[in-house]
Amino acid sequence: MNLLNRTWLKKLNGTLFLIGIMLLLSSCSISYKFNGSNIDYTKIKTISISDFPNNAELVYPPLSQEFSEALRDAYSKQTRLQAVKKGGDLHLEGEIVGYQLTPMAITADSYASKTKITLTLKVRFTNNKNSEDDFDKSYTAFQSFDSTLMLNDVQDQLIKQMISDIVDNIYNDTVAKW
């Protein structure tokens, strides 16, 4: 009987040990954030983004609204910051200062085979919780298209790509700190 009790006790100890290990492992967790933000949500809770007026010489009418909305969407989708009209912990403002077409790649018959479209924005970022992060900076993006195409046919697609590039750069400079 003594031998039977020892065997049973060893099995019980082994079972309890395995249960303990499983409980320990199930209580541990590893968390990764893939949104790229580096925000201390205990201090920074809100963001305000002003409309970006179009002050460029060449004006594409929907550009101001498309850019402002794309910027707001980036922060609302990739952070937990609450959007407010004014006075956010983080604040972005600025204007569209350049929208231009430049002929590129001149052919033998002196015609441009490519045209480059360039978008430039001036952005002012204010971190009301840490003024060391504040900046005033210009962002530029460009796309090229075949000159045999009409600008009206490619403009919307090219604008979306340039807006996306600039929004990514602003996001990285403000909250991702890359």
DSSP track, 79-118: --PEE-SS--SEEEEEEEEEEEEEEEEE-TTS-EEEEEEE
Place of tokens 């983004």: 49
Copy the structure tokens of residue 133: 């992060």
Q: Which of 23-27, 83-87, 109-113 has the lowest mean pLDDT?
A: 23-27
Most confident residue range from 8-12, 26-30, 35-39, 113-117: 113-117
pLDDT at 148: 87
Reported pTM: 0.77
**What pLDDT is attached to residue 13?**
66
Cα angle 30-36-37, degrees, rounded to a multiple of 5: 95
pLDDT of 21 over the 70 cut: no
**Which CATH code is given to the segment(s) 37-176?**
3.30.160.150
Could you give the C-alpha distances from 155 to 89, 106, 113, 126, 135, in angstroms and in order?
35, 21, 17, 32, 30
> How many Å apart are CA 86 and CA 125, to the nearest integer?
13
Determine the Cα–Cα distance for residues 124 and 115; give it in Å rounded to an integer.
30
DSSP state of 54: B
